[in-house]
Amino acid sequence: MEFEFSENSVKILNTVNFDLSQTFGCGQCFRWNKFENKFFGAAFGEFVSLTQNGTTVIIENTNEEKFNLIWKDYFDLESNYKFMAEHLSDINPILDKAIRECSGIRILKQDPWEALCSFIISQNNNIPRIKKIVNSLCVKFGGNLADGIFTFPKPEILAACEEEDLASVRAGFRARYIIDAARKVSEGTLDFLELKNMPPEEASGVLMQIIGVGPKIAECVRLYGLHDFRAFPIDVWMKKIMEKLFPGVSSDIFGDFRGLAQQYLYHYIRLHPDVIA
Partner DNA sequence: GTCCAGGATCGGA
Partner DNA sequence: TCCGATCATGGA
Which residues of the chain form contacts with DNA (CB under 7 A)? 26-28, 119, 122-130, 167, 170, 172-173, 208, 211-218, 220, 233-238, 262-263, 266
Give which of 263, 276, 274 is closest to 102, Cα–Cα. Answer: 263
Nearest distance from residue 86's CB to DNA, in Å?
Answer: 22
The least CB distance from residue 33 to DNA, in Å, is 16
- Label the pairing between strands 2-6 and 9-13: antiparallel
**What is the DSSP secondary structure assignment for residue 68, as one 8-state letter?**
I
Nearest Cα residue to 62 out of 127, 120, 11, 129: 11
- Cβ nearer to DNA, comparing 10 with 203: 203
Q: State the nearest-atom distance from the C-beta of 98 to DNA, in Å.
A: 13
Of 54 and 248, the one with the shorter C-beta distance to DNA is 248
Q: How far apart are CA 222 and CA 116, in angstroms?
A: 9
CB of 52 or CB of 262, closer to DNA: 262
Q: What are phi and psi of 69, to 5 degrees?
A: -80, -40
CA distance 10 to 202: 39
- Cβ-based neighbours of 128, under 8 Å, separated by 6 or more: none
CB 120 within 8 A of CB 181: yes
Q: Which is nearer to DNA, 148 or 214 (CB)?
A: 214
* Distance of closest approach, residue 213 Cβ to DNA, in angstroms: 6
Q: How far is the CB of 5 from DNA (least distance, A)?
A: 32
Q: Which is nearer to DNA, 12 or 138 (CB)?
A: 138
Residue count of the chain: 277
**105 by DSSP, 3-state: which?**
coil
Least Å from the CB of residue 91 to DNA = 19
Q: Please list, residue by residue across 249-263, b when 16 or more beta carbons sit within 10 angstroms of its beta carbon and e when fewer do.
A: eebeebeebbbbbbb
Nearer to DNA among residue 92 and residue 118 (C-beta): 118
